[in-house]
Amino acid sequence: MELMGGCFCGDVRYRVTEAPSWVGNCHCSSCRKASGAAFITYAVIPLSQYEVAKGEPQVYQSSPGVERSFCGRCGTTLTYRADQFHGDIQITVASLDHPEDLQPMCHVWVAERLPWIHLAGDEPRYPGSALDGNPIN
């Protein structure tokens, strides 16, 4: 599987050469601030399967052990990397050329979601990280 994506202005383009192992909606306050959106959808892939094909994303260390990349020209949020996830990188699904090809499997950090977000569907909902335990629904 090959997925292509990039920023709004086109200065940064990337390629993913493996299907994601996980796709989910994150409702944490940090992701909201970083993206400027009510929540953000990420897809997890091995870092070795992610390649910047054009341009050079800017990187911001948003907290200890966490880096987020974005386009320095238009500001599009592109990736999230955390030390706790070792060799993986999370790409923002909305930055893909065809985001409709990936469907979220769950919602994480729903304890921090905005009160006016009403979740539909039967995807699992985790109060924190999906790694922390059982869903609440």
CATH for 60 = 2.170.150.70
121 lies in some domain: yes
Q: What is the rounded (10 degree) CA torsion for 65, 49, 19, 37?
A: 40
Tell me which residue range forms the domain holding 101.
3-132
80 lies in some domain: yes
137 lies in some domain: no
**Amino acid at position 122, single letter:** D
Mean pLDDT of 117-132: 91
Rounded to whole angstroms, the Cα distance separating 123 from 55 reads 36
pLDDT at 95 over 90: yes
97 lies in some domain: yes
Q: Encode pLDDT of 58-80 as tens digits.
A: 999 999 999 999 999 999 999 99
CA-based nearest residue to 79, from 42, 27, 25, 109: 42
83 lies in some domain: yes
pLDDT at 2 over 80: yes
Q: Which residues pair with 6 in a beta bridge?
A: 13
CB 49 within 8 A of CB 92: no
Q: Structurally, how many domains does the chain consist of? A: 1
Burial (CB < 10 A; 0-12, 13-18, 19+), residue 87, is exposed
Whether the pTM exceeds 0.85: the reply is: yes
**Residue 131 banded pLDDT, cuts 50, 70, 90:** confident
Rounded to whole angstroms, the Cα distance separating 136 from 99 reads 27
